[in-house]
């Protein structure tokens, strides 16, 4: 199986030893604490799960700036997006300032329980110039209308860096018990299935027929044993379909339209950044850590609005060193129904032209579903369309 990024084995930061974790939980209740942002809490879950191997915690400003500017950690290892714990002034109490060990509380769980214990290496103030640089390099814009920019820009200016020990996986195991999986668990599942080549597919949306066929095309072209459908389970922008609805729709599609033991349906606990090309690189890093040998990067991968070109997330892989990642990228083209081929095709594999292709905008799809009408079979499988129609009608009513 493919090696993890920058390491021989995964380095999950979850404290798996029961006795040690019990002692840390007791200690944490006595420590000064901060309630971290949703993004920082999600990063802790990713660190706990082994997805962010080989990181040991949150970056300081020098490390984050190096990553933003050069996509490298200070030790030279490739890394595309800063992983930071930034808190507002009200969280930076005197008790926190005057200790080197703190508890991190989870904003996404009722009562804000302790999520992790942190050894504080440094507390630094992020200047406006530094913040703008990190935002611009990560998102390609500082426009506050971009859905990812405010989540970083408005979180505060106090950077707490250092290694962490994670005590739980936040709300993800309870809310998504059949879907949330750590990188460790996914590697174990791949091994148990006897898969060698695995192609991973990222999604924050339900999968229509174009997505289904893209996975099948990629699996066929790289001769993969299986497909890892790996859905984001964390926070999304308004208007995106909730994870539970997506999960149901994807499972219905796989049950009816994929051969048995060719798909693993899983999810990971991270908030969507909508960072386009940079986020595509991060997605590739943690799919390598999952054990996938190939990763599909499709049209407008991890994008939002018109901030990125449709294939910018593919082009960025041409700009990084060839040895930056071990995982191979499968570049997905426009995928749609062709009236002449009478099937879903990927542009470039079909001799026909635009006049022969059947497409409906996302906005029009939502209008159809909200009206209680089925999506055309060229767009969505009926089992998927039924689940989505029920969701949109519940939203309208």
**Which residues form the catalytic set?**
204-205
At what angle are helices 243-257 and 382-396 packed, to 10 degrees? Answer: 160
Asked whether 364 and 372 are in contact (CB, 8 A), the reply is: no
Strands laid side by side in the 198-203 sheet: 263-268, 226-232, 198-203, 294-297, 328-331
Q: How far apart are CA 157 and CA 152, in angstroms?
A: 10
DSSP string, 3-61: PPTTSSS----B---HHHHHHHHHHHTTS-EEE--HHHHHHHHHHHHTTTTT--EE--H
Main-chain dihedrals φ then ψ at residue 282, nearest 5 degrees: -65, -40
Cβ neighbours of 137 (radius 10 Å) = 20
Asked whether 305 and 340 are in contact (CB, 8 A), the reply is: no
Chain position carrying tokens 């060193």: 321
């Amino acid at each position: 199986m493919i090696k993890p990024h920058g390491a021989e084995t995964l380095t999950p930061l979850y404290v798996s030893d029961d006795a040690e974790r019990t002692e840390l939980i007791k200690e944490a209740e006595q420590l000064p604490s901060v309630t971290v942002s949703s993004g920082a809490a999600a990063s802790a879950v990713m660190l706990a799960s082994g997805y962010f191997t080989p990181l040991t915690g949150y970056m300081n400003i020098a490390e984050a700036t190096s990553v933003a500017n050069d996509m490298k950690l200070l030790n030279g290892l490739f890394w595309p997006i800063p992983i930071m714990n930034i808190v507002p002034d009200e969280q930076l109490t005197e008790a926190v300032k005057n200790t080197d060990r703190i508890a991190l509380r989870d904003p996404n769980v009722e009562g804000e329980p302790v999520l992790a214990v942190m050894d504080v290496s440094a507390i630094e103030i992020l200047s406006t110039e530094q913040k703008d640089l990190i935002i611009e390099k990560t998102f390609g814009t500082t426009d506050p209308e971009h859905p990812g920019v405010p989540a970083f820009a408005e979180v505060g200016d106090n950077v707490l860096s250092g290694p962490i020990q994670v005590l739980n996986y936040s709300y993800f195991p309870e809310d998504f018990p059949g879907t949330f999986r750590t990188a460790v668990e996914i590697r174990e599942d791949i091994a148990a299935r006897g898969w060698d080549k695995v192609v991973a597919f990222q999604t924050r949306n339900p999968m229509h027929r174009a997505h289904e066929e893209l996975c099948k095309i990629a699996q066929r072209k790289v001769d993969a044993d299986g497909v890892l459908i790996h859905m984001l389970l964390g926070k999304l922008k308004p208007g995106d379909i909730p994870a539970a609805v997506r999960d149901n729709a994807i499972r219905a599609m796989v049950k009816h339209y994929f051969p048995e033991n060719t798909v693993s349906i899983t999810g990971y606990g991270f908030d969507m950044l909508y960072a386009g090309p940079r986020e595509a690189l991060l997605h590739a890093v943690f799919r390598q850590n999952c054990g996938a040998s190939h990763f599909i990067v499709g049209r407008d991968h991890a994008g939002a609005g018109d901030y990125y070109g449709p294939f910018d997330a593919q082009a960025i892989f041409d700009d990084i060193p060839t040895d930056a990642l071990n995982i191979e990228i499968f570049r997905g083209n426009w995928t749609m129904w062709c009236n002449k081929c009478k099937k879903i095709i990927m542009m470039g594999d079909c001799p026909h032209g635009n006049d022969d292709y059947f497409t409906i905008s996302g906005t029009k799809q939502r209008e159809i579903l909200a009206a209680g009408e089925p999506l055309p079979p060229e767009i969505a499988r009926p089992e998927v369309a039924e689940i989505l129609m029920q969701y949109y009608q519940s939203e309208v009513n």
